[in-house]
Amino acid sequence: MITAFALMSAAPTIALPDPAAWTVEQRVDYLADGQARFAQPVSHALYEDPKVRAEIRRIGFLNGCKLVKQARRDVLDAHFPQLKAGYAAAIRKTVDENMLKTTRFLSFNASPLMSASFRLRREADRSMASEFAMIRVELPTRFFELSGALPTNNDPAANQIKPKTDVAGALGITGDYDLDNAGYLGLACAEAMIDPKVRPQISGGSQ
């Protein structure tokens, strides 16, 4: 069982076929790769922009979620080498080497590496502040480049999105998502985009 907001940051937890065969540097490289592709400090920046939220409503929720995903991929891919190098340095600085050597699940969403994720986040925010600042500027620019080609969706149902039962129960939502709430919008998009086969059970609710 995990909290509802884990839907927005869920990442695969991968069990290595032969952990002993991986060096510490290989583990750092693997973890840095995953962190760079998601870049948590900026991954939800688009939802926090009121102009982006308004544009998502204009083109319709599902189209908006798809374009957020595309814009994020395009921008993060362009910054990937710098992000990966920065995360690798941050991991080396904040994660105990013995932990890296012995953990079987190479994911910051799984114990015991979860305990190091907060230190990693603080170090990444500090050491990559300028990179994150550039990404935050580029994300909405790319989003609006993509969304400008889409017509206005005048169907009210396009923006009437109900949470799944377990999410509604966990968060106490009795109607539709408030799509002008950045947190709810990010959660709703994550729920819409996630593969049902890997969707986690949400704590505090029922399916």
For 122-174, write each residue's pLDDT tens digit. Answer: 999 999 999 999 999 999 999 999 999 999 999 999 999 999 888 888 888 88
Do residues 11 and 38 lie in contact, with contact meaning Cβ atoms separated by under 8 Å? yes
For 30-60, write each residue's pLDDT tens digit. Answer: 999 999 998 888 988 999 999 999 999 999 9
- Give, in degrees to the nearest 5, the angle at Cα 43 between 46 and 151: 35
Q: What are phi and psi of 75, to 5 degrees?
A: -70, -45
Residue 13 has pLDDT above 50, yes or no: no
**Within 13 Å and on the Cβ side, how many CA atoms surround 139?**
23
What string of DSSP letters covers 144-186? HHHHTTSPP---GGGG--PPPHHHHHHHT--SS--TTSHHHHH
- Domain extents for the chain? 22-154
Do residues 202 and 166 lie in contact, with contact meaning Cβ atoms separated by under 8 Å? yes
With CA atoms as reference, report the closest residue to 152 among 47, 60, 52.
60
For 69-97, write each residue's pLDDT tens digit. Answer: 999 999 999 999 999 999 999 999 999 99
Q: What pLDDT shows up at residue 198?
A: 65
pTM, two decimals, is 0.83
